[in-house]
Amino acid sequence: MNLLTMFLLQAQAPAQTEQSFFQQYSFLILMILVFVVMYFFMIRPQQKKQKEVVKWRESLKKGDKIVTVGGIYGTISEVKDTFLIVEIDANVRIRVDKSSVVKDITDVQNR
């Protein structure tokens, strides 16, 4: 049997019977379910946590003790719109962006 004969036989094959709705769209349904599960277990909790962090950063005030992303411990001496003035030692102040503040020093365990 040559290659041409095989193609001709396949072209004459009877059409497949209709499949059920679930069989036709099972992949699409599965992908939608995977996305829904990912949303409720990964995306939504991350968004909620990020909103809490933004709210906490907006509530910072003078005298709060903080830790920056770089590991600098200090006390807030002045609060501006987008940055903080942090006192890290006696008469040593640095300007730090609010987004670089990661946690309150009370969250850090004493060692």
The CATH code of the domain that includes 99 is 2.30.30
**Is the confidence at residue 107, as pLDDT, over 80?**
no
pLDDT over 90 percentage in the chain: 55
For residues 76 and 104, membership in a common domain is answered with yes
Distance between CA atoms of residues 13 and 26, nearest Å: 25
Cα–Cα–Cα angle for 109, 45, 108, nearest 5°? 5
Together in a domain, 66 and 96:
yes
pLDDT of the residue at 24: 77
pLDDT in tens, 66-104: 999 999 999 999 999 899 999 999 999 999 999 999 876
Backbone dihedral region for residue 34 (phi beyond 0: left; psi -120 to 50: alpha; all else: beta)? alpha
Q: Domain check: are 93 and 76 in the same one?
A: yes
Q: Is residue 101 part of a domain?
A: yes
Residue 8 lies in a domain: no
What is the chain's mean pLDDT, rounded? 83
Range 51-56 average pLDDT: 91
Look at residue 98 and tell me if it is in a domain: yes
Number of domains into which the chain is organized: 2
pTM for the predicted model, two decimal places: 0.60
In a domain, 70, yes or no: yes
- Provide the percentage of residues in the chain whose pLDDT is more than 70: 77
The per-residue pLDDT for 111 is: 43
Tell whether 109 and 97 lie within a shared domain: yes
Which domain range does residue 103 map to? 61-111
- Give the pLDDT score at 20: 73
Beta strands in 1-111 (DSSP E): 65-68, 73-79, 83-89, 92-97, 101-104
Whole-angstrom distance, CA of residue 109 vs CA of residue 68: 16
